[in-house]
Amino acid sequence: MMRGIAGLAAVGAVWGGMNTEPNPTASDLTASYPVVRLMPKGDARAIRHGYPWVYANELVTDRRTKGLTPGALAVLEDANRVPLGLVTVNPVSKIICRMIDRDPEAVIDTAWFAAKLARALAHRARIYDQPFYRLVHAEADGLPGVVIDRFGDVAVVQPNAAWADALIGPLTDALVQVTGVTTVILNGTGRARSLEGLDDRTDVIRGTAPTAPIAVPMNGATYMADVMGGQKTGLFFDQRPNHAFAATLAKDARVLDMFSHVGGFGLAALAAGAASVLAVDGSEPALALADQGAAAMGVGDRFTTRRGDAFEVLEALAAEGATFDLVVCDPPAFAPGKASLEAGLRAYERVARLAAGLVAEDGYLMLCSCSHAADLTRFRNASARGIGRAGRRSQVIQTGFAGPDHPLLPHLAESGYLKVVTFRL
């Protein structure tokens, strides 16, 4: 049942002309796969039906298993020693195993990565006529913990799981081979990596770093993406269909884009003929990129920005007597996990209450959540409570989710994190 791992000799050597230190996470990827085993209470049926994770309290964690290097590959067996597939193992993570291939004899090499990437690319190429999209959405695209966003000839890879960090070399080779991108940037930052015991790092692992923001066309607008120093990969592709819906409400409208980042909803609204847009964010660099996008579109005269804490700005706008025909609030994840759920729901309720007071009669309020711990029903109910506390009555007219380049794995609720609810007040 054991098979060798091909194509890993170069891990930790020279990738794309960049010298790196030997990667210690690759040293345990030996010539044969070890075996790890579910406890009797482990849900083997869920794994067989497609659930991709095994938690630490479901696995037999003897000294040998605990001694595996984070990112090692192993054959997962059920409690009766029947193989379930090939997994990656990280003894320091709560998610101790991630299913990587249902074939326990699979060879994880450049060709394996190329097949996964080719399948992901075929889907995106059918949907989009320009190469700006999320190419890989982690488990839903068969690459657990891996996010890849494409910006033309530039790809930004987030290896948020230890195995992907260890195998970044063959992953990069396959990415260049399949897509033809000339620059690959490793964006190793964020909460997910810390949960895997990984350090933050940002590297150019193939090609040359862009010297200026990349102009991204989307929904008739132009966005400026800072792929080296911006938030996440530099742009949020997941909101594309929701930007488009907001644009249908925006013609001749006064628009407030809260938590705007680089102008996501606001620039789409301007492209659709909004009378004016005020973009609010806490990041000065993000607002500067939004200004550049508006200038590139030739709509800078209808676009203004305001930097500050969102709650404080919402209260200040109310004190100023400001009203808008369309208000959009797209905050960061207030409830990134179960422990923060109740506090997060209170924060979403507060946003809804403050924002509702700024919406003109018969205007629209779009509220967004990227918290996977807050499901659609809880988020919508918290939003409705906030609107009611503001003394407004509402209709739900639209519910949105991430775009089709962010597929949802039916067995993994976490892959369907984005919810958008639009109210008419």
Query: Which stretch of DSSP H or E encloses residue 146?
Result: strand 146-151
Give CA separation, 283 vs 202, 260, 264, in Å. 20, 9, 14
d(CA 132, CA 125): 10
Instruction: Please report where in the chains the tokens 């509702």 appear, as a residue.
Output: 356
Give CA separation, 367 vs 328, 331, 342, 378, in Å. 6, 9, 18, 13
Q: Residue 397: name the closest of 173, 281, 245 by CA.
A: 245
Query: Which stretch of DSSP H or E encloses residue 267?
Result: helix 264-271
Query: Side-chain half-sphere of 48: how many Cα atoms within 13 Å?
Result: 9
Q: Residue 171: name the closest of 197, 208, 199, 205 by CA.
A: 205
Cβ-contact 265, 324 below 8 angstroms: no
Instruction: Please report where in the chains the tokens 């482990």 appear, as a residue.
Output: 42
**DSSP assignment of 183-235, as one string?**
EEEEEE-SHHHHHTTPPPEEEEEES---SSPEEEEETTEEEEE-TTTSSTTSS
Cβ-contact 171, 164 below 8 angstroms: yes
Which one is catalytic: 97, 329, 368, 370?
A: 370
Specify whether 370 is catalytic.
yes
Helix (H, G, I), strand (E, B) or coil at 68: coil
Cβ-contact 378, 345 below 8 angstroms: yes
Residues belonging to the active site: 370
